[in-house]
Structure 1
């Protein structure tokens, strides 16, 4: 993949990169860091991409790995000056719809397939490649997530 093609892919995927990072990290500054590192790594490793058809999937996979790497690094650095462990900042309820809030409260293994499928428009096959799981596992996770979301909204008239 040429530098120009990769640059174009990154520009075209800007919203998807941000949405994916936001759902994992929740913090805009961390999202910016993860996306920046993803771009650097993508340019460094662009020759490892075997099929350009999967470039977007490859880029999202790099981002997801970078987000989890950032979370692991943050866990290692807990200030010894305070006796309290700092809480991860949760998005304010007023900033997001109830559905977005409910999705963000799902476990990552359920949340990522939901975001990639419904918000980012990836196919089951692409999600399986990104998450490095089988297509059946993606379908099962989507079904479990839908069940949990349905249960969360059973007593609310949110979608009426």
Structure 2
């Protein structure tokens, strides 16, 4: 008599993204906590004021929770989340298009962030917004050029040229400040 080997049923473990799509709040919190620093760095790179940065992050988390079911490809969750954050940051910028009191500008100028190298952080802050965003995403968040292009909705060649321009401008800024020797 021939025996049939016992087949073990192995249930596929659901990813946190799958659990999030089913409404699991704990999975959502866990994934958001994994991306906290990324969200902060990107928002801070776009927005100057800490309050605006916090608002953008909070709005992003709420929108991501509400719209998680619209995420088509789970592996692009981080890209999708950053795109929401950039949109929310841009909304805040549009709402804040007004005069800023001089006192606010002076205190903001000397604000020290928790980045390791404050000189390079200040140099990056001196870049135009489109150069600053690609620099932060590429160097601080280690996001590929291809993914940055998707996030920003621009061609990969544009991302490359912005990174090149940003490097040149950073070199000039650092050289003027005496940080880089010839």
Same fold per TM (> 0.5)? yes
Q: Which residue of 1 aligns with 2:159?
A: 138
SS in 1 for 2:72: coil
Matched, 1:154 2:175: yes
**In 2, are the aligned partners of 1:21 and 1:64 still within 8 Å (CA)?**
yes
The offset of 1:102, in angstroms, is: 1.3
Runs of 4+ residues over 4 Å off in structure 1: none
1:9-158 equivalences in 2 (<5 Å) = 9-75=31-97, 78=98, 85-87=99-101, 89=105, 91-93=108-110, 95=112, 97-158=118-179
Distance change >3 Å, CA 155–CA 92, structure 1 → 2: closer
Mind listing any 5+ residue stretches in structure 2 that lack a counterpart?
Answer: 1-16
Larger Rg: 2
Between the two proteins, the alignment pairs up a number of residues equal to 152
The offset of 1:117, in angstroms, is: 0.6
**In 1, are the aligned partners of 2:134 and 2:162 still within 8 Å (CA)?**
yes
**In 2, are the aligned partners of 1:124 and 1:139 still within 8 Å (CA)?**
yes
Could you tell me how far apart the structure 2 residues matched to 1:156 and 1:16 are? 28
CA RMSD, 1 decimal: 1.9
- Between the two structures, name the one with larger relative contact order (CA 8 Å, sep ≥ 6): 1
**TM-score for the superposition, normalised by structure 1:** 0.86
